[in-house]
Structure 1
Amino acid sequence: MATIQRTTAKVFYYARNVLRDIAPQALFRRRLADRLEKAKLSDGSVRRRLNHYNKLQDAFTPSPAAVRIDNLPFAPSMYYYDLKEFARYFDPGLLIDLEFGDIIDVPKVPSLVKDRPIHADHSNAIILKFNKFRHFHMPADATAFVDKLPAVVWRGDLNNPIRTRFLNAVRDLPFCDAGSHKSYAPPEYSRPYLSIGQQQRYRYIVSLEGNDVATNLKWIMNSNSLCLTPPPTYETWFAERELEANVHYVPLAPDFADLAEKVRYFERHPAAAERIIAAANAYCRTFANEQAEQAISLLVLYKYFVLSGQFKPDAEVWRYIIG
């Protein structure tokens, strides 16, 4: 259920991107050199991150299914706008292989994706910050951990066997408020809808992967609640594979039999919970520097176009990319 603020932000997101599409695109292309010049001045974390998202090292040829920048698929529209925001800085005839949506397999050819499996040879899956309006919505949380309800909460769609297994495991735990708010959820799993703000009132919030990554992982880690989750198996622009168990989140066993024990421990040791929360909050701040975020996005595409043989690199920019 969207709030007025969230709805307003969505309207602004679309209005800004429509205006960018209406503007003469040559204006953006003339600014590419200046944007890249500023990107070269970025610290080593920008280089490390762009080469994490784009792990390609060898030259390749776009597939016959590749699309031109000026003919990108419009649906889903947020994926289109998130890509076009940076692709518009390049020649409109350049070709891109891409897969919009929830990706659970590594593409056969180098392609732009929102996410990829962590435990795989996934160099062909080049991550961009797709669907960022939804996935990078991380509202502030002003309530301290010790002032929250000493209980566990989870809400979500039952689109993954892991989620049903979790609900079955915790159904008899009195300190767990867990269930699905979807109208089609079976009665035994049905619970009322809770907004992000309402969930933030709990000390412990569970994050469970769905079709791919867990959407709520980011806003939980940006809150003052403790994130409980099985180790991630997919990653997005949030670089979930970089997260460390017992540093950024509390790991849960596959059968969730350890959840009660973990909660009891942190109820007795709130300072330990607060240390993990502080580390999680610091990790989230990595993505708060909008100048760095934009530089990385441009450089991920730049590297793709160079290695695909479509773009001759500036020597200094390429030296920065490859280190």
Structure 2
Amino acid sequence: MKLTTRYERNLHKLGYYLTALFDLVVPRSYWLWHGQRLMEEYAALEPEAKAEVDARVAWYNRLEAPFNPGPEAIRPQQFSRRGQRSAYYLDFKRLLRCLPDDRPFRYEFGDVTWVPEYPSFVKSRPVASAGENANSVLLKLNQVRHYFMVPDPLSFREKEPVAIWRGKGSQPQRKAFLERYHDSPLCDVGCNHEESIGKPWHTGFMPASEQLNYRYIVSIEGNDVATNLKWILASNSLCLMRRPRYETWFMEGALEPDVHYACLADDHSDLEEQIRYYNAHPEAAEAIIRNAQAHVARFMDTRREWLISLLVMRRYFEKVEA
């Protein structure tokens, strides 16, 4: 099972990079045509669908007034692979080639946990009001890592009635969690990275497909968002987590506690209490799981995701002061 899951993930990565690299050699004229076709589809949307698209665009790009992008802004033709992480570069370049704009822009790639001084394209931002994080314009970046879903053949009630967590335990919130729950009879939690060798919570790797044998999967933010959150919410397991501090294209900040996930205390101190409650009330857990799956479904239409991404980028360029 472990090898199969790793093989499938590597196959997913291979397919992503081959497609993305092929996209780079396709003439820009095709991508401009592709972008125009998507804009025509947007204009033809039914009112309800268009309102949903517009709401997401406004959520990702909260800029309202024209702005100067600052002295370090670059123009599209200056955007290069040099010094960039390949997945971020490829995802961003695909979008950039679909728009005819030549106005300057800024970007911050990687785990961005601050709000840039100037409006910038980012993968992640702090959860905050629109007025506080408007300079962080979200795009769907590093997709190959963050949008790998795992099939789940088991119903909630068929799973083991305990909580599972695996990951890197170097961040303070994760280390405190491991110290508290590594020997709990209601949990199977551990760190499989080198920094935990010699600690009682050091354990072996467990692929996502095996974690789905458990009713409860804990999601704990690391540098920014938790990578496992997306596939947990897509599954038939219940996601247990505290309120998110960071958000990405997946709209973590729009998730409602005890509607899309079972909300834990900030220090995770009520984890066992929550497990006991939902073991006694499986119908409540299943209702949350259905809501979580409905949230995930919003991101599964590839063409619609392209359209929203281009609209987010276009809205940015339209507000750049010439």
TM-score range, shorter chain: over 0.9
Following superposition, the deviation at residue 146 of structure 1 comes to 0.7
Alignment check: 8 A CA contact 2:169 2:178 kept: no
User: Taking structure 1 as the reference length, what is the TM-score of the superposition?
Assistant: 0.92
Q: Residue 19 of structure 1 corresponds to which residue in structure 2?
A: 22
Following superposition, the deviation at residue 13 of structure 1 comes to 1.1
Task: Say which SS state the counterpart of residue 192 (structure 1) adopts.
Answer: coil
Task: Say which SS state the counterpart of residue 115 (structure 2) adopts.
Answer: coil
CA distance in 1, matches of 2:104, 2:240: 41
Query: Unpaired runs of 5+ in structure 1?
Result: 311-323
Q: Which amino acid aligns with 1:103?
A: V
CA distance in 2, matches of 1:166, 1:27: 50
Alignment check: 8 A CA contact 2:170 2:195 kept: no
1:131 aligns with 2:131: no
CA distance in 1, matches of 2:146, 2:12: 14
Alignment check: 8 A CA contact 1:69 1:91 kept: no
Task: Say which SS state the counterpart of residue 142 (structure 1) adopts.
Answer: coil
- Give the count of matched residue pairs: 310
1:89-137 C-alpha deviation (Å, 9 max, x unpaired): 1237442200000001000000000010003500000000011111111
CA distance in 2, matches of 1:145, 1:30: 45
Task: Say which SS state the counterpart of residue 96 (structure 1) adopts.
Answer: coil
CA distance in 1, matches of 2:316, 2:194: 43
User: Taking structure 2 as the reference length, what is the TM-score of the superposition?
Assistant: 0.92
Following superposition, the deviation at residue 243 of structure 1 comes to 0.5
CA distance in 2, matches of 1:111, 1:57: 14
**Alpha-carbon RMSD:** 1.5
Residue 159 to residue 114, structure 1, CA distance change in 2 (3 Å): farther
Moved over 6 A (4+): none
Task: Say which SS state the counterpart of residue 269 (structure 2) adopts.
Answer: coil
Q: Residue 50 of structure 1 corresponds to which residue in structure 2?
A: 57
CA distance in 2, matches of 1:130, 1:169: 34
Q: Which amino acid aligns with 1:116?
A: R
Q: 2:97 aligns with which of 66, 85, 88?
A: 88
Q: Residue 258 of structure 1 corresponds to which residue in structure 2?
A: 270
Task: Say which SS state the counterpart of residue 108 (structure 2) adopts.
Answer: coil
User: More displaced, 150-159 or 29-38?
Assistant: 29-38
Q: Which amino acid aligns with 2:285?
A: A
Q: 2:6 aligns with which of 3, 6, 22?
A: 3
Q: 2:35 aligns with which of 23, 32, 37?
A: 32
1:62 aligns with 2:69: yes
1:145 aligns with 2:156: yes
Query: Unpaired runs of 5+ in structure 2?
Result: none
**What percent of counterpart residues are identical?**
39
Q: 1:155 aligns with which of 166, 174, 182?
A: 166
Q: 2:187 aligns with which of 165, 168, 176?
A: 176
